[in-house]
A and B are shown apart, each in its own frame.
Chain A
């Protein structure tokens, strides 16, 4: 490093060491920032997969407990089931595959809802049918009541 002759020798030495410290600080800071970013990306990726695992576990139920969701269950079996979901996700399996796999392994009760197909599908259709029947009944009653009102008003209006 070259300094003009006007600058005293002691000051030059101080300036050189200050410059060196500055370079070292900037260099180390850059390395640290780079490392922290890489670490953050790793943690973020890990938490994303964990989040996905919990999203799937939230739709499944503990097969050993009564009414406890898989994401909230603390049993060793549930911990292992969550581990199995993570492994399947790491293999590239999607949510639909994992849920179907769990239904095959542990029975349909592991899924929080009955399947749409087969005999259990009626669990979905029956309330809809009942609602439709109730709607038709109410509609008929209202129409009949309106007709009766109309008839009676016509009778009253007639001389």
Chain B
């Protein structure tokens, strides 16, 4: 009996609350809170998972010409959102297809927007000049738009209908003009 009582008292002595223990617990709590906050911030930046049939994530873009546009402003028109980069070989291969489609579709209810992903200003401008790109283009500053659209790489193209609903996402190069035309017809107002 005496041995048991002494065991309990020694355990109590080991669990004695000291200022150092309180401080250590406080620091641990602080650390856990911080990890939670940082994770929350990352999740907020990523946003809900992207899905066809769901509203396309809203974004604001400053074009190379200095114009500010947002997706919500384009409600009522179909939107083709193309992510590209000057250092990306396949992006060069689809540049002509996109530009020729834009020239054909201009004024028919579909807007083309190019978003340069992790690109450099001089090289991006050289790319646009080389392929005579005339549709709206801008840089994704801080990669916020790319994260919202779950970008895996470039090129990627998103088709958004006049109600702002994501109708299709195409990861990779656009090669077939007929297929591209069918996808454009799907988002025509």
With an 8 A cutoff between CB atoms, is A10 at the interface? no
B6 CB → nearest A CB, Å? 20
Q: Give which listed residue, B34, B123, B143, contacts A63 with CB less than 8 A.
A: B143
> A49 near B: Cβ within 8 Å?
no
Which residues from chain A contact B66 at a C-beta distance below 8 Å? none
A-B contact count (CB 8 A): 62
Tell me whether B101 is interfacial, beta carbon within 8 Å: no
A-chain residues with CB within 8 Å of residue B118 when the two chains form the complex: 63-64, 77, 106
Given contacts A130-B27, A137-B20, contact A106 B123 (CB under 8 A): no
Docked-complex contact A119 and B37, CB < 8 angstroms: yes
Tally chain A residues at the interface, Cβ within 8 Å: 26
CB distance from A35 to the nearest CB of B (A): 33
Q: Once the chains bind, are A84 and B122 in contact (CB under 8 Å)?
A: yes
Are B142 and A106 touching (Cβ within 8 A)? yes
Bound CA–CA A126/B122 (angstroms): 40
**Contacts A133-B27, A140-B19, A140-B20; A83 near B122 (Cβ below 8 A):** yes
Q: Chain A residues near B5: list those with CB within 8 A.
A: none
* Dominant secondary structure at the A interface: helix
Within 8 A of A (CB), among B114-131: 118-123
Contact B23 A84 (CB under 8 A): no
The answer to whether B31 and A77 have CB atoms under 8 Å apart is: no
Q: Does B141 contact A (CB under 8 A)?
A: yes
Q: Are B23 and A80 in contact (CB under 8 A)?
A: no
B120 to A126, Cβ gap below 8 A? no
Q: Mark A79-122, 1 if CB is under 8 A from B, else 0.
A: 11101100100000000000000001111000000000001101
Interface string of B5-21 (1 = CB under 8 A from A): 00000000000001110
B41 within 8 A of A: yes
Cα–Cα distance between A75 and B86 once the two chains are bound (Å): 12
- Find out whether the CB atom of B19 lies under 8 angstroms from the CB atom of A81: no
Q: Can you report 11 A-B residue pairs in the complex whose CB atoms are below 8 A from each other? A: A75-B87, A80-B87, A80-B123, A83-B120, A84-B122, A104-B142, A106-B142, A106-B143, A119-B37, A122-B34, A126-B34
Q: Which residues of A contact B (CB under 8 A)?
A: 63-64, 75-77, 79-81, 83-84, 87, 104-107, 119-120, 122, 126, 129-130, 133, 136-137, 140-141
Given A106-B142, A119-B38; 16 other pairs, CB 8 A cutoff: A75-B87, A76-B87, A77-B85, A80-B87, A80-B122, A84-B122, A87-B122, A105-B141, A106-B118, A106-B143, A129-B30, A133-B20, A133-B23, A137-B20, A137-B23, A140-B19
